[in-house]
Chain A
Protein backbone atom coordinates (compact mmCIF):
# COMPACT_ATOMS: atom_id res chain seq x y z
CA UNK A 1 0.00 0.00 0.00
CA UNK A 2 0.94 3.65 -0.35
CA UNK A 3 0.71 5.96 2.65
CA UNK A 4 -0.25 9.65 2.45
CA UNK A 5 0.34 11.99 5.42
CA UNK A 6 0.44 15.75 6.03
CA UNK A 7 3.10 17.21 8.33
CA UNK A 8 3.99 20.59 9.77
CA UNK A 9 7.53 21.90 10.22
CA UNK A 10 8.04 19.74 13.30
CA UNK A 11 6.70 16.52 11.76
CA UNK A 12 3.49 17.10 13.69
CA UNK A 13 0.26 15.51 12.51
CA UNK A 14 -2.39 16.27 15.15
CA UNK A 15 -3.11 18.53 18.08
CA UNK A 16 -5.75 17.54 20.63
CA UNK A 17 -6.92 14.68 18.39
CA UNK A 18 -7.63 17.10 15.56
CA UNK A 19 -5.87 17.69 12.25
CA UNK A 20 -3.51 20.64 12.22
CA UNK A 21 -4.61 21.96 8.87
CA UNK A 22 -6.32 21.30 5.56
CA UNK A 23 -6.16 22.74 2.07
CA UNK A 24 -8.63 22.34 -0.77
CA UNK A 25 -5.84 22.46 -3.36
CA UNK A 26 -4.13 19.61 -1.59
CA UNK A 27 -7.29 17.51 -1.79
CA UNK A 28 -7.39 18.06 -5.54
CA UNK A 29 -3.74 17.11 -5.81
CA UNK A 30 -4.26 13.88 -3.87
CA UNK A 31 -7.25 12.98 -6.05
CA UNK A 32 -5.12 13.61 -9.12
CA UNK A 33 -2.22 11.56 -7.77
CA UNK A 34 -4.39 8.60 -6.81
CA UNK A 35 -6.63 8.60 -9.87
CA UNK A 36 -7.29 5.07 -11.05
CA UNK A 37 -6.43 3.61 -7.65
CA UNK A 38 -8.41 3.02 -4.49
CA UNK A 39 -7.99 5.79 -1.91
CA UNK A 40 -8.73 4.59 1.63
CA UNK A 41 -9.36 6.59 4.79
CA UNK A 42 -11.57 6.67 7.86
CA UNK A 43 -14.74 8.71 8.32
CA UNK A 44 -12.90 11.57 10.00
CA UNK A 45 -10.81 12.18 6.87
CA UNK A 46 -13.56 11.38 4.37
CA UNK A 47 -15.32 14.67 5.16
CA UNK A 48 -12.47 16.42 3.35
CA UNK A 49 -12.80 14.36 0.20
CA UNK A 50 -16.46 13.79 -0.46
CA UNK A 51 -17.32 10.89 -2.74
CA UNK A 52 -15.05 8.53 -4.65
CA UNK A 53 -13.06 7.37 -1.64
CA UNK A 54 -13.17 4.09 0.27
CA UNK A 55 -14.08 4.56 3.92
CA UNK A 56 -13.59 2.07 6.73
CA UNK A 57 -12.54 2.15 10.37
CA UNK A 58 -9.86 -0.44 9.68
CA UNK A 59 -8.98 0.93 6.28
CA UNK A 60 -5.30 0.09 6.60
CA UNK A 61 -6.15 -3.59 6.94
CA UNK A 62 -8.51 -3.33 4.00
CA UNK A 63 -6.00 -1.67 1.66
CA UNK A 64 -4.18 -3.90 -0.80
CA UNK A 65 -1.19 -3.61 -3.07
CA UNK A 66 -1.22 -0.38 -5.07
CA UNK A 67 -3.96 1.19 -2.94
CA UNK A 68 -3.48 4.53 -1.17
CA UNK A 69 -4.21 5.23 2.50
CA UNK A 70 -4.71 8.81 3.67
CA UNK A 71 -3.74 8.75 7.33
CA UNK A 72 -4.52 11.50 9.83
CA UNK A 73 -5.50 10.11 13.22
CA UNK A 74 -4.58 6.45 13.11
CA UNK A 75 -1.21 4.79 13.70
CA UNK A 76 1.05 4.53 10.70
CA UNK A 77 1.75 0.93 9.67
CA UNK A 78 5.33 -0.18 9.59
CA UNK A 79 5.13 -2.91 6.98
CA UNK A 80 3.68 -3.57 3.53
CA UNK A 81 4.47 0.01 2.55
CA UNK A 82 5.34 0.59 -1.09
CA UNK A 83 5.48 4.37 -1.07
CA UNK A 84 5.06 7.15 1.46
CA UNK A 85 3.76 10.45 0.15
CA UNK A 86 4.42 13.31 2.56
CA UNK A 87 2.79 16.70 2.17
CA UNK A 88 4.62 19.40 4.09
CA UNK A 89 2.48 22.38 5.09
CA UNK A 90 5.64 24.48 5.52
CA UNK A 91 3.92 26.07 8.51
CA UNK A 92 4.24 25.99 12.28
CA UNK A 93 1.26 24.46 14.05
CA UNK A 94 0.83 23.10 17.56
CA UNK A 95 1.29 19.35 17.70
CA UNK A 96 1.10 16.49 20.16
CA UNK A 97 1.09 13.57 17.71
CA UNK A 98 4.01 13.15 15.37
CA UNK A 99 5.07 11.21 12.30
CA UNK A 100 7.76 8.98 13.76
CA UNK A 101 8.24 6.36 11.07
CA UNK A 102 11.89 5.90 10.14
CA UNK A 103 12.07 6.52 6.40
CA UNK A 104 15.85 6.68 6.21
CA UNK A 105 15.86 3.38 4.35
CA UNK A 106 13.51 4.68 1.68
CA UNK A 107 14.47 6.58 -1.44
CA UNK A 108 13.13 10.03 -2.29
CA UNK A 109 11.95 9.65 -5.88
CA UNK A 110 9.96 12.84 -6.37
CA UNK A 111 9.69 16.32 -4.90
CA UNK A 112 7.11 18.81 -6.09
CA UNK A 113 5.93 22.17 -4.77
CA UNK A 114 2.58 23.79 -5.40
CA UNK A 115 0.53 26.66 -4.06
CA UNK A 116 -2.29 25.76 -1.74
CA UNK A 117 -5.50 27.66 -1.11
CA UNK A 118 -4.56 28.72 2.42
CA UNK A 119 -0.90 27.73 2.29
CA UNK A 120 1.75 29.64 0.35
CA UNK A 121 3.66 26.52 -0.59
CA UNK A 122 2.91 22.85 -0.04
CA UNK A 123 5.71 20.40 -0.71
CA UNK A 124 4.99 16.88 -1.90
CA UNK A 125 7.67 14.28 -1.33
CA UNK A 126 7.34 10.68 -2.51
CA UNK A 127 9.51 8.05 -0.86
CA UNK A 128 9.76 4.54 -2.23
CA UNK A 129 10.81 1.35 -0.53
CA UNK A 130 14.28 0.33 -1.69
CA UNK A 131 14.32 -2.83 -3.80
CA UNK A 132 16.53 -5.48 -2.19
Chain B
Protein backbone atom coordinates (compact mmCIF):
# COMPACT_ATOMS: atom_id res chain seq x y z
CA UNK B 1 0.00 0.00 0.00
CA UNK B 2 1.58 3.23 -1.10
CA UNK B 3 -0.93 5.53 0.56
CA UNK B 4 -2.22 5.37 4.04
CA UNK B 5 -4.02 8.65 4.45
CA UNK B 6 -7.09 8.13 6.57
CA UNK B 7 -9.55 10.81 7.44
CA UNK B 8 -12.46 10.49 9.73
CA UNK B 9 -14.94 10.71 6.91
CA UNK B 10 -13.13 7.98 5.05
CA UNK B 11 -13.28 5.68 8.03
CA UNK B 12 -16.95 6.37 8.45
CA UNK B 13 -17.54 5.54 4.83
CA UNK B 14 -15.48 2.38 5.07
CA UNK B 15 -17.56 1.33 8.02
CA UNK B 16 -20.64 1.77 5.91
CA UNK B 17 -18.95 -0.21 3.15
CA UNK B 18 -18.07 -3.08 5.42
CA UNK B 19 -21.65 -3.34 6.63
CA UNK B 20 -22.91 -3.71 3.09
CA UNK B 21 -19.99 -5.72 1.72
CA UNK B 22 -21.60 -9.13 2.15
CA UNK B 23 -21.73 -11.17 -1.03
CA UNK B 24 -24.90 -10.65 -3.05
CA UNK B 25 -27.28 -13.28 -4.30
CA UNK B 26 -26.32 -13.17 -7.95
CA UNK B 27 -28.40 -14.84 -10.65
CA UNK B 28 -27.09 -18.18 -11.90
CA UNK B 29 -24.54 -17.96 -14.70
CA UNK B 30 -26.40 -18.07 -18.00
CA UNK B 31 -23.68 -17.58 -20.58
CA UNK B 32 -22.91 -13.90 -20.04
CA UNK B 33 -19.71 -12.90 -18.20
CA UNK B 34 -21.56 -10.66 -15.75
CA UNK B 35 -24.99 -9.78 -14.40
CA UNK B 36 -26.20 -6.36 -13.32
CA UNK B 37 -26.90 -6.09 -9.58
CA UNK B 38 -29.26 -3.64 -7.87
CA UNK B 39 -30.07 -1.87 -11.14
CA UNK B 40 -26.40 -0.90 -11.45
CA UNK B 41 -26.47 1.16 -8.24
CA UNK B 42 -23.56 0.44 -5.87
CA UNK B 43 -24.72 -0.51 -2.41
CA UNK B 44 -22.44 2.16 -0.97
CA UNK B 45 -24.14 4.82 -3.06
CA UNK B 46 -27.16 5.34 -0.88
CA UNK B 47 -25.42 6.62 2.26
CA UNK B 48 -22.93 8.51 0.14
CA UNK B 49 -25.46 10.37 -1.96
CA UNK B 50 -27.81 11.06 0.90
CA UNK B 51 -25.05 12.75 2.85
CA UNK B 52 -24.05 14.76 -0.20
CA UNK B 53 -20.35 14.57 0.66
CA UNK B 54 -17.54 14.35 -1.80
CA UNK B 55 -14.33 12.67 -0.75
CA UNK B 56 -11.07 13.38 -2.42
CA UNK B 57 -8.77 11.54 -0.04
CA UNK B 58 -6.51 9.03 -1.66
CA UNK B 59 -7.05 5.65 -0.06
CA UNK B 60 -7.06 1.97 -0.78
CA UNK B 61 -8.23 -0.55 1.76
CA UNK B 62 -7.79 -4.31 1.59
CA UNK B 63 -9.65 -6.55 4.01
CA UNK B 64 -7.58 -9.01 6.05
CA UNK B 65 -7.58 -12.64 4.98
CA UNK B 66 -10.16 -14.79 6.76
CA UNK B 67 -9.37 -17.93 8.76
CA UNK B 68 -9.17 -19.94 5.52
CA UNK B 69 -6.74 -17.46 3.98
CA UNK B 70 -9.33 -15.98 1.62
CA UNK B 71 -9.52 -12.39 0.47
CA UNK B 72 -12.47 -10.17 1.21
CA UNK B 73 -13.60 -6.79 -0.06
CA UNK B 74 -11.07 -4.35 -1.49
CA UNK B 75 -12.03 -0.68 -1.71
CA UNK B 76 -10.21 2.28 -3.23
CA UNK B 77 -10.78 5.83 -4.27
CA UNK B 78 -9.37 5.50 -7.78
CA UNK B 79 -7.55 8.61 -8.95
CA UNK B 80 -4.44 9.52 -10.89
CA UNK B 81 -2.34 9.58 -7.73
CA UNK B 82 -3.04 5.88 -7.19
CA UNK B 83 -2.50 4.74 -10.74
CA UNK B 84 0.81 3.09 -11.58
CA UNK B 85 3.54 4.66 -13.66
CA UNK B 86 5.58 1.45 -13.99
CA UNK B 87 4.96 -1.86 -15.69
CA UNK B 88 3.43 -4.54 -13.47
CA UNK B 89 5.90 -6.59 -11.45
CA UNK B 90 6.09 -10.32 -10.79
CA UNK B 91 3.15 -11.66 -8.76
CA UNK B 92 3.94 -15.37 -9.05
CA UNK B 93 5.06 -15.54 -5.42
CA UNK B 94 1.44 -15.16 -4.28
CA UNK B 95 -0.51 -18.41 -3.98
CA UNK B 96 -4.18 -17.50 -3.50
CA UNK B 97 -6.59 -20.04 -2.01
CA UNK B 98 -7.66 -22.78 -4.41
CA UNK B 99 -4.74 -22.09 -6.74
CA UNK B 100 -3.86 -24.69 -9.40
CA UNK B 101 -1.55 -24.14 -12.32
CA UNK B 102 -3.50 -26.01 -14.96
CA UNK B 103 -3.76 -25.64 -18.73
CA UNK B 104 -6.49 -26.32 -21.27
CA UNK B 105 -5.87 -26.06 -24.99
CA UNK B 106 -9.18 -24.30 -25.59
CA UNK B 107 -8.58 -21.57 -23.02
CA UNK B 108 -7.09 -18.34 -24.35
CA UNK B 109 -3.56 -18.20 -22.98
CA UNK B 110 -3.94 -21.92 -22.02
CA UNK B 111 -3.95 -21.36 -18.26
CA UNK B 112 -7.33 -21.80 -16.60
CA UNK B 113 -6.50 -19.63 -13.62
CA UNK B 114 -4.97 -16.20 -13.30
CA UNK B 115 -3.84 -14.52 -10.12
CA UNK B 116 -6.72 -12.15 -10.39
CA UNK B 117 -6.44 -8.66 -8.88
CA UNK B 118 -9.49 -7.44 -7.01
CA UNK B 119 -8.43 -3.83 -7.58
CA UNK B 120 -6.81 -4.14 -11.00
CA UNK B 121 -3.16 -3.20 -11.39
CA UNK B 122 -3.96 -0.42 -13.87
CA UNK B 123 -6.12 1.25 -11.21
CA UNK B 124 -4.04 1.12 -8.03
CA UNK B 125 -0.64 -0.28 -8.98
CA UNK B 126 -0.72 -3.14 -6.49
CA UNK B 127 1.65 -5.95 -7.38
CA UNK B 128 2.09 -9.00 -5.13
CA UNK B 129 -0.42 -7.99 -2.47
CA UNK B 130 -1.86 -11.19 -0.98
CA UNK B 131 -4.93 -9.26 0.18
CA UNK B 132 -5.75 -8.29 -3.40
CA UNK B 133 -5.23 -11.50 -5.41
CA UNK B 134 -7.67 -14.37 -5.81
CA UNK B 135 -7.79 -17.46 -7.99
CA UNK B 136 -9.81 -16.32 -10.98
CA UNK B 137 -10.48 -17.89 -14.34
CA UNK B 138 -9.07 -16.33 -17.46
CA UNK B 139 -12.66 -15.74 -18.56
CA UNK B 140 -13.60 -13.82 -15.43
CA UNK B 141 -10.37 -11.84 -15.42
CA UNK B 142 -10.30 -10.82 -19.08
CA UNK B 143 -13.87 -11.06 -20.35
CA UNK B 144 -15.65 -10.20 -17.12
CA UNK B 145 -13.62 -7.76 -15.05
CA UNK B 146 -11.15 -6.09 -17.41
CA UNK B 147 -13.70 -4.08 -19.46
CA UNK B 148 -14.99 -2.42 -16.27
CA UNK B 149 -11.45 -1.68 -15.11
CA UNK B 150 -10.67 -0.17 -18.52
CA UNK B 151 -13.71 2.07 -18.29
CA UNK B 152 -12.67 3.42 -14.89
CA UNK B 153 -9.00 3.80 -15.79
CA UNK B 154 -9.63 5.74 -18.99
CA UNK B 155 -12.22 7.95 -17.32
CA UNK B 156 -9.86 8.88 -14.49
CA UNK B 157 -7.00 9.58 -16.90
CA UNK B 158 -9.19 11.87 -18.98
CA UNK B 159 -10.93 13.78 -16.21
CA UNK B 160 -8.63 13.59 -13.17
CA UNK B 161 -11.82 12.80 -11.29
CA UNK B 162 -12.25 10.18 -8.56
CA UNK B 163 -14.09 6.88 -8.71
CA UNK B 164 -15.09 5.09 -5.54
CA UNK B 165 -14.58 1.42 -6.28
CA UNK B 166 -15.13 -1.78 -4.37
CA UNK B 167 -14.60 -5.38 -5.43
CA UNK B 168 -15.93 -8.17 -3.20
CA UNK B 169 -15.14 -11.83 -3.85
CA UNK B 170 -18.05 -14.22 -3.30
CA UNK B 171 -16.92 -17.34 -1.44
CA UNK B 172 -19.65 -19.83 -0.59
CA UNK B 173 -19.33 -21.56 2.78
CA UNK B 174 -15.79 -22.96 3.10
CA UNK B 175 -14.99 -22.99 -0.60
CA UNK B 176 -11.50 -21.86 -1.53
CA UNK B 177 -12.34 -20.51 -4.99
CA UNK B 178 -14.75 -17.61 -5.30
CA UNK B 179 -17.92 -18.11 -7.30
CA UNK B 180 -17.51 -14.61 -8.64
CA UNK B 181 -16.80 -11.02 -7.70
CA UNK B 182 -19.12 -8.11 -7.20
CA UNK B 183 -17.76 -4.88 -8.71
CA UNK B 184 -19.23 -1.54 -7.64
CA UNK B 185 -18.12 1.87 -8.85
CA UNK B 186 -19.29 5.46 -8.79
CA UNK B 187 -17.65 8.65 -10.06
CA UNK B 188 -17.60 11.07 -7.16
CA UNK B 189 -17.41 14.58 -8.57
CA UNK B 190 -20.64 14.11 -10.54
CA UNK B 191 -22.40 11.68 -8.15
CA UNK B 192 -22.24 8.79 -10.60
CA UNK B 193 -23.10 10.80 -13.69
CA UNK B 194 -20.28 9.32 -15.74
CA UNK B 195 -19.41 6.07 -13.95
CA UNK B 196 -22.02 4.10 -12.06
CA UNK B 197 -22.28 0.34 -12.00
CA UNK B 198 -22.84 -2.68 -9.83
CA UNK B 199 -22.17 -6.00 -11.51
CA UNK B 200 -21.38 -9.58 -10.60
CA UNK B 201 -18.68 -11.27 -12.71
CA UNK B 202 -18.82 -15.06 -12.77
CA UNK B 203 -15.71 -17.04 -11.95
CA UNK B 204 -16.39 -19.61 -14.61
CA UNK B 205 -14.62 -20.83 -17.72
CA UNK B 206 -16.74 -22.09 -20.62
CA UNK B 207 -15.97 -25.76 -21.23
CA UNK B 208 -14.49 -26.31 -17.77
CA UNK B 209 -16.21 -27.59 -14.63
CA UNK B 210 -14.64 -26.16 -11.49
CA UNK B 211 -14.76 -27.67 -8.03
CA UNK B 212 -15.01 -24.51 -5.98
CA UNK B 213 -14.16 -26.30 -2.77
CA UNK B 214 -10.50 -26.72 -3.75
CA UNK B 215 -9.98 -25.36 -7.28
CA UNK B 216 -9.76 -28.76 -8.94
CA UNK B 217 -11.18 -28.73 -12.47
CA UNK B 218 -11.91 -30.80 -15.52
CA UNK B 219 -13.03 -30.36 -19.09
CA UNK B 220 -16.75 -30.74 -19.60
CA UNK B 221 -17.40 -33.88 -21.62
CA UNK B 222 -19.77 -36.67 -22.54
CA UNK B 223 -19.06 -40.15 -21.20
CA UNK B 224 -20.65 -43.59 -20.94
CA UNK B 225 -21.68 -44.81 -17.50
CA UNK B 226 -21.82 -48.57 -17.04
CA UNK B 227 -24.57 -48.52 -14.48
CA UNK B 228 -24.41 -51.92 -12.80
CA UNK B 229 -20.69 -51.63 -12.11
CA UNK B 230 -20.66 -47.85 -11.69
CA UNK B 231 -17.74 -47.47 -14.12
CA UNK B 232 -17.16 -44.45 -16.32
CA UNK B 233 -15.93 -44.92 -19.89
CA UNK B 234 -15.01 -42.72 -22.77
CA UNK B 235 -17.50 -42.99 -25.61
CA UNK B 236 -16.32 -45.75 -27.92
CA UNK B 237 -14.42 -47.61 -25.20
CA UNK B 238 -14.33 -51.36 -25.78
CA UNK B 239 -14.37 -52.04 -22.06
CA UNK B 240 -18.16 -52.03 -21.65
CA UNK B 241 -20.85 -54.22 -23.09
CA UNK B 242 -22.33 -52.04 -25.79
CA UNK B 243 -24.98 -54.64 -26.60
CA UNK B 244 -26.75 -54.26 -23.30
CA UNK B 245 -28.17 -50.79 -23.83
CA UNK B 246 -30.22 -50.88 -20.65
CA UNK B 247 -27.01 -51.00 -18.65
CA UNK B 248 -25.39 -47.90 -20.10
CA UNK B 249 -26.25 -44.24 -19.81
CA UNK B 250 -24.87 -41.05 -21.27
CA UNK B 251 -23.20 -39.04 -18.53
CA UNK B 252 -22.19 -35.39 -18.92
CA UNK B 253 -19.78 -33.42 -16.77
CA UNK B 254 -16.15 -33.46 -15.68
CA UNK B 255 -14.33 -36.59 -14.53
CA UNK B 256 -13.65 -35.18 -11.08
CA UNK B 257 -17.39 -34.89 -10.48
CA UNK B 258 -17.94 -38.59 -11.16
CA UNK B 259 -15.01 -39.60 -8.99
CA UNK B 260 -16.39 -37.46 -6.19
CA UNK B 261 -19.62 -39.43 -6.40
CA UNK B 262 -17.81 -42.77 -6.05
CA UNK B 263 -17.78 -43.73 -9.71
CA UNK B 264 -14.76 -45.77 -10.87
CA UNK B 265 -12.82 -44.83 -13.98
CA UNK B 266 -12.33 -47.48 -16.63
CA UNK B 267 -8.67 -48.60 -16.51
CA UNK B 268 -8.76 -49.34 -20.23
CA UNK B 269 -9.82 -46.00 -21.68
CA UNK B 270 -8.90 -43.82 -18.66
CA UNK B 271 -11.37 -40.97 -19.09
CA UNK B 272 -9.98 -37.56 -18.19
B155: CB under 8 A from chain A?
Answer: yes
**Residues of chain A from 70 to 96 with CB closer than 8 A to chain B in the complex:** 91-94
Q: Which residues of the other chain, A, contact B147 by a CB distance below 8 angstroms?
A: 8, 92-94
Cα A20 to Cα B148 with chains together (Å)? 9
Q: Which residues of the other chain, B, contact A115 by a CB distance below 8 angstroms?
A: none
Interface string of B119-151 (1 = CB under 8 A from A): 000000000000000000000000000111011
**Residues of chain A from 1 to 48 with CB closer than 8 A to chain B in the complex:** 8, 15-16, 18-24
Q: Residue A91 contacts which of B154, B195, B199 (CB distance < 8 angstroms)?
A: B154
Contact B155 A94 (CB under 8 A): no
CB distance from B204 to the nearest CB of A (A): 17
Cα A16 to Cα B187 with chains together (Å)? 13
Given contacts A21-B154, A24-B158, contact A94 B199 (CB under 8 A): yes
Closest to A92 in B: B147
CB distance from B209 to the nearest CB of A (A): 26
Given contacts A15-B197, A16-B196, contact A23 B158 (CB under 8 A): yes
Contact A118 B34 (CB under 8 A): no
Closest to A44 in B: B193
Contact A18 B154 (CB under 8 A): no
Contact B195 A18 (CB under 8 A): yes
B157: CB under 8 A from chain A?
Answer: yes
Q: Which residues of the other chain, B, contact A20 by a CB distance below 8 angstroms?
A: 151
Contact A16 B154 (CB under 8 A): no
Q: Residue B158 contacts which of A91, A92, A93, A118 (CB distance < 8 angstroms)?
A: A118
Q: Residue A117 contacts which of B150, B157, B197 (CB distance < 8 angstroms)?
A: B157
Cα A93 to Cα B193 with chains together (Å)? 17
CB distance from A19 to the nearest CB of B (A): 8
CB distance from B272 to the nearest CB of A (A): 33
Given contacts A15-B197, A16-B40, A18-B194, contact A94 B151 (CB under 8 A): yes
Contact B151 A22 (CB under 8 A): no
